[in-house]
A and B are shown apart, each in its own frame.
Chain A
Amino acid sequence: METMKRPAATQSQKLMIFVLTMALYGMATLFTELIPSFQVGVVEFSVEYFLFIPLVLSMLFDPISAALGAATGELVFSEIMLGQFGGLGELEKFITVTIGVYLAGRMVKDPKNHKMVGIAALTGTGVQLFLGMLVDIFKVQFAVQDFEAVPGLPESVFATEGFAFANDLLFSGILFCMLPTLYLVPKLYGKIEPLLGMEPRSEKTALGAINGKVILACLGAFAVAVAAEMLAESGMSLIDWEADWAGSGTALAAGMVVAAAAAVIVLVIMKKRAEAGKQN
């Protein structure tokens, strides 16, 4: 019974929360990844957001474990298991989901306060979508050289991204994040915590309001996400510079072809010999 009295979660309880959020949110994102979205004109109706699951859990339990669990779940279940892992882009998604869910979880002091739960759910979704939109715009800007020079491209990127943001926030944000959260949080409050051996969150056991440190940490994490994209840009000039310095490109490439062909032939012979040796 001693654990019931402790205000903050113990290490193993944090791991429980992590596993719980990861499994649930991961499975949900797996389904959304598999169900194709359908479009009516430019309005896209997709069940993109099962984000209410980590939102609910982060309001009831330790927010940072729930947030990390949700981001890992999405990464593992829907990206790695389906083989849709996209490299750099995934880091950005991981960080934005973590920030959104964590902020929403920190905002709620008392899960019985309906108004606060609703506001927090919408804020968390909004933050996640907004950061995602910013990174998307950066991504196109870096991937396409002479971004400004291509006619019509900058405006169209801003328009499509801005529209997608507004659409997602109004459609998925309210329908799939706020309403389910408002339904599930009061229903689960006081019931799910004892299953993990914890005391329900109240004014006393809450972690405290969002302060400057939290916001600073979030901004820092977002800077890392953007820095990953910036790195790509500077890396491009680095490789170009090296190619210039190498001088005759064709001769170098021909040398590489010869070396690679030699390696393939040697390896095939070695493999044949090894197999022959095994049979004897």
Chain B
Amino acid sequence: MEKMMQKLSDNILDKLSMDFLRNQVLKNAYGNDDTFIAKLDPRVLLVWYLFFALVPWFVDRLPFLLGAFLLVAVTTVMARVAGLVLLLFVVGVFSQTGYLFVVSLLFGGNAETIVPLLILTLKVATVSLASVTVFSGLDPDRLSNGLMWFGCPERLSFSISYAYRMLPMLMEEFQNVLLSYRLRGNAPDSSGFTGKVRYLIYQIRVIIHAFYPLMLNTAKRSRTTVEALEIKGYRNAAVSPEVKKLKLASLKVGYDDMLFVAVSFLWMALTILATTIL
């Protein structure tokens, strides 16, 4: 039994290593651009998202919410989202409302409290799954183009593209700095409870210290980035309508997009029908 517990905790620690986190993030960002969702037009998906991000907040009928939830659950599966992201979603949604339920029991709540909380959970879950579908299923470049088409500030779409390109580099650099700090320092003994606490404090201190060289390096890099952008006339291009037109010329609405919208609409119409009958 003890051996099994040991194995289990080793397994969990393995899973939570820096490399694992990095792989999951990269997989989420770059790994699935061949799915049906990723090939859809970003503008159509954004409008679709807007519906599922706003409407559930306004509706309190259980059949409608359940139907919307099922639909976004199916699209999430279609988008092949990384496992870690889904796990975080589940933990996030249920710890939030579950915790609230337990505390409301303390203040004299009863089983009746669970119905409004269930509705709240469904609303939160639908909205977050819709966003998981759109924002993790879609290629970042296409997403930023779609946002730009709707007139979002150029700086936001620039930030998204920049983030996706720079993230692997930044993470690697952070890891390298962290490892070099560890190499030089002598980690305290982590046996026993006080040892564990001391080890945790040591870890946090190393992370904070690592930000000192990291900040200097990133400052240098961001200067290079901005200077490179200036050479290409970025600040002028960001406001020029001609550049925008050229950039957005690749967007096209096809049959798949219309089909996606039509099927979603059909499903929602069916749930509305069910709501009115029930």
A123 to B123: give the CA distance in the assembly, Å.
Answer: 34
A27 to B207: give the CA distance in the assembly, Å.
Answer: 13
The 8 A CB mask of A123-146 against B (1 = contact, 0 = none) is 000000000000000001001111
A180 to B28: give the CA distance in the assembly, Å.
Answer: 31
Q: Of B28, B99, B104, B216, which contacts A153 at CB under 8 A?
A: B104
Contact present for B108 and A152 (CB under 8 Å): yes
- Known: A156-B104, A188-B212; 17 extra A-B contacts, CB below 8 A, are A15-B235, A23-B166, A23-B170, A34-B25, A35-B16, A72-B155, A73-B163, A81-B28, A84-B88, A88-B57, A152-B109, A155-B107, A184-B215, A263-B258, A264-B259, A267-B258, A271-B259
A253 to B99: give the CA distance in the assembly, Å.
Answer: 37
Contact present for B159 and A76 (CB under 8 Å): yes
CB distance from A181 to the nearest CB of B (A): 10
CB distance from A24 to the nearest CB of B (A): 5
A30 to B126: give the CA distance in the assembly, Å.
Answer: 22
Pick the interface stretch among B3-11, B127-135, B183-191: B127-135
**Majority secondary structure of chain A interface residues (helix, strand, loop or mixed):** helix
Pick the interface stretch among A101-109, A190-198, A209-217: A190-198
A184 to B216: give the CA distance in the assembly, Å.
Answer: 11
A35 to B21: give the CA distance in the assembly, Å.
Answer: 9
Q: Is B94 an interface residue (CB 8 A)?
A: no
Q: Of B16, B119, B266, which contacts A257 at CB under 8 A?
A: B266
CB distance from A241 to the nearest CB of B (A): 12
A87 to B58: give the CA distance in the assembly, Å.
Answer: 14
Q: Is A187 an interface residue (CB 8 A)?
A: yes
Q: Is A19 an interface residue (CB 8 A)?
A: yes
CB-CB under 8 A from B25, the residues of chain A are 30, 34, 81-82
CB-CB under 8 A from B163, the residues of chain A are 22-23, 26, 73, 76-77, 81
Within 8 A of A (CB), among B156-194: 156, 159-160, 162-164, 166-167, 170-171, 174
Q: Of A11, A23, A151, A187, which contacts B235 at CB under 8 A?
A: A11
Q: Is B219 an interface residue (CB 8 A)?
A: yes
Contact present for A253 and B108 (CB under 8 Å): no
A-side residues, CB < 8 A to B, are 11-12, 15-20, 22-24, 26-27, 30-31, 33-36, 47, 52-53, 56-57, 72-73, 76-77, 79-88, 140, 143-146, 150-153, 155-157, 159-160, 175, 179-180, 183-184, 187-188, 191-192, 195-197, 232, 235-236, 239, 249-250, 253-254, 256-257, 259-261, 263-264, 267-268, 270-271, 274
- Given A77-B163, A81-B29, answer yes or no on A15-B226 (Cβ-Cβ < 8 Å): yes
CB-CB under 8 A from B59, the residues of chain A are 239
CB distance from B152 to the nearest CB of A (A): 12
CB distance from B23 to the nearest CB of A (A): 11
CB distance from B118 to the nearest CB of A (A): 11
A24 to B171: give the CA distance in the assembly, Å.
Answer: 10
CB distance from B51 to the nearest CB of A (A): 11
Contact present for A143 and B226 (CB under 8 Å): no
A150 to B118: give the CA distance in the assembly, Å.
Answer: 13
Contact present for A19 and B215 (CB under 8 Å): no
Contact present for A20 and B222 (CB under 8 Å): yes
**Majority secondary structure of chain B interface residues (helix, strand, loop or mixed):** helix
CB distance from B22 to the nearest CB of A (A): 10
Contact present for B212 and A184 (CB under 8 Å): yes
Contact present for A264 and B262 (CB under 8 Å): yes
CB distance from A11 to the nearest CB of B (A): 7
CB-CB under 8 A from B127, the residues of chain A are 86-87
CB-CB under 8 A from A239, the residues of chain B are 58-59
A259 to B162: give the CA distance in the assembly, Å.
Answer: 43
CB-CB under 8 A from A145, the residues of chain B are 60, 116
Within 8 A of A (CB), among B206-228: 208, 211-212, 214-216, 218-223, 225-227
A11 to B127: give the CA distance in the assembly, Å.
Answer: 37
- Given A151-B110, A195-B219, A257-B269, answer yes or no on A86-B128 (Cβ-Cβ < 8 Å): yes
- Given A20-B222, A236-B58, A264-B263, answer yes or no on A83-B277 (Cβ-Cβ < 8 Å): no
Q: Of A31, A150, A195, A249, which contacts B216 at CB under 8 A?
A: A195
Contact present for B104 and A152 (CB under 8 Å): yes
Q: Of A19, A232, A264, which contacts B162 at CB under 8 A?
A: A19
CB-CB under 8 A from B78, the residues of chain A are none
Q: Of A87, A150, A184, A274, which contacts B54 at CB under 8 A?
A: A87
CB-CB under 8 A from B54, the residues of chain A are 87-88, 235
Contact present for A22 and B104 (CB under 8 Å): no
Closest 9 CB pairs of A and B: A83-B136, A152-B109, A260-B266, A152-B107, A256-B269, A87-B53, A253-B273, A83-B132, A271-B255
